Amino acid sequence: MASNSSYTIHLLAILHFLYFSQSLAAVLESSSSPVSPDTICKSTLYPSFCKSLLPRNDSCNIYDYGHFSVRQSLSIARNFLSLVDWYLNHQSTLSNIAIRALEDCRLLAGLNMDFLLSTVETINSTKTLPSLQADDVQTLLSAILTNQQTCLDGLQATASAWSAKNGLSIPLSNGAMLYSVSLALFTHGWVHQGMKGKLQTGRKLIFSDMEVGCLPLRMSNRNREIYESVNRRNLLQTTQDGVLVSDVVVVNQDGTGNFTTINGAVAAAPNNSDISNGYFLIYVVAGVYEEYVSIMKNKKILMMIGDGINQTVITGNRSKVDGWTTFNSATLAVVGQGFVAVNITFRNTAGAIKDQAVAVRNGADMSTFYNCSLEGYQDTLYTHSLRQFYRECDIYGTVDFIFGNAAVVFQNCNLYPRLPMHGQFNAITAQSRTDPNQNTDTSIHNCNIRATHDLASSNGTVKTYLGRPLKEYSRTVYMQSFMDSLIDPSGWIEWSGNFSLSTLYYAEYNNTGPGSVIPSRVTWPGYHVINATNAANFTVSNFILGDDWLPATGVPYTGLL
């Protein structure tokens, strides 16, 4: 718990940041105007570091500084990746879990390199970006910070990685500050208030000329025959444009399909596919698949369809207790952009006794889960980063069972807190935003929150909360959802004393049920009861710009309230 004096100092720092962020708006009314480093750096979380970084040139504008900081970010990311590789090549004294933590860092550092290269390419092309491109870049820069924090958290949680952590701590810290500065400069220079929701068309590339059952598809005759033979149910909504499929493969453990394992089918998917080419569709026949499935960054635009919840089951049991990092304990780990999962159960069966044990870790931009079940205990669903959507999914867990720092919307889902270990309480969410300029949030819209049978049978001895702040700027919103009586009247619970209670943003709008009663809620500065105007900011259309990319998936959604 923070002391009163340290809390006061922290609060003053936040007020200082907010004051200069507001006053800077007038200075940057014309973003192409020259501005001094001293002025521009007051808009960041790290003014001193920012001033030491930027060139002392009063003729520069915010775009010049933004280009400079992003190029510096790319350089430091490249050096950090080399340093992690060095430690992994000299690992004789490291334990397995330390090596796993470093491997997580290498994967995350590689993603940061990709994101920064994409950012440089985008902002070099023009000073003014369309709203979609601006949101893309802000999303990538937000994810870079999340990746850096995830690496640090993994090393700190690994006692035997101390030697590597000590050698990486300064590069990690400097990188985090630099990435934060780059995000702040981009947000002030390229992203403008009210931009979200005012979309240009531009990504919709799907045009259907036939229908197979209820799902309009474009595919070859061979693939159409395969799909007709395995799909006789209503899976995805019929859209005017349809769902474009480039290829279909079947996974069946009895050997009658194209593959007997899911990973085998994933490996066969084309690398770096584009939505204009259509989805590589993997149909997974009913069965229990004991696999750890990884959808890597080069496996883009992949759709995986099963035979239904509890019919097609992918299961594993990795956990923190058994020597895995939280990050790599996942039964399904997704990074490849545009991933879609339909009619599948994903499980981690490690149990409450094994602490952190992830069923699904999702760091895939514009990814979608529809009519899936995600089942675990502590840390069931790791919504790690980037833009995500979950529709009509069942999610089971105990402590922090939906956590991470994505821009994510859950819609028409069932959230099922279950019985934790003795002495524990349930927290449905633990959102981990670390920077005020990140465009991340957990938005829960039109969902149902009910206890599982084992929790209901505990006669109220276990408290269940809507969430708690894993990081300083944690953001979670519940809208138009049903909350049963299991929700504690206070609604939310702190992480550690006063930590983040002034900087978090937790909000509720027009929820129903006995657990939604407002008068006994927490009175934290960061807690809000919001109106429809504010709630609209957290909808599919406005928050994750779902109108731009969800139609291509065929998954139904409600864009607004």
Based on the residue annotation, tell me whether 274 is a catalytic residue of this protein.
Answer: no
Residue 215 to residues 241, 242, 269, 283, 461: CA-CA distances in angstroms?
11, 7, 21, 14, 47
Active-site hit among 64, 400, 488, 547 = 400
Phi, psi of 96, deg, nearest 5: -60, -40
Contact 361, 325 (CB under 8 A): no
- The H or E element containing residue 282 is strand 279-284
Residue 12 to residues 150, 363, 526, 537: CA-CA distances in angstroms?
27, 34, 16, 28
**Whole-angstrom Cα distance, residue 328 to residue 103?**
9
Terminal CA-to-CA distance of the chain, rounded, Å? Answer: 38
Q: Name the residue with tokens 């949030």.
A: 441
Phi, psi of 181, deg, nearest 5: -65, -45
- The H or E element containing residue 431 is strand 426-431
DSSP letters along 53-78, please?
Answer: HS---TT--HHHHHHHHHHHHHHHHH
**Whole-angstrom Cα distance, residue 132 to residue 121?**
15
Q: Which of 212, 214, 339, 194 is nearest to 266 (CA)?
A: 339
Beta bridge partners of 416: 396
DSSP 375: E
Which residues are identified as catalytic? 400
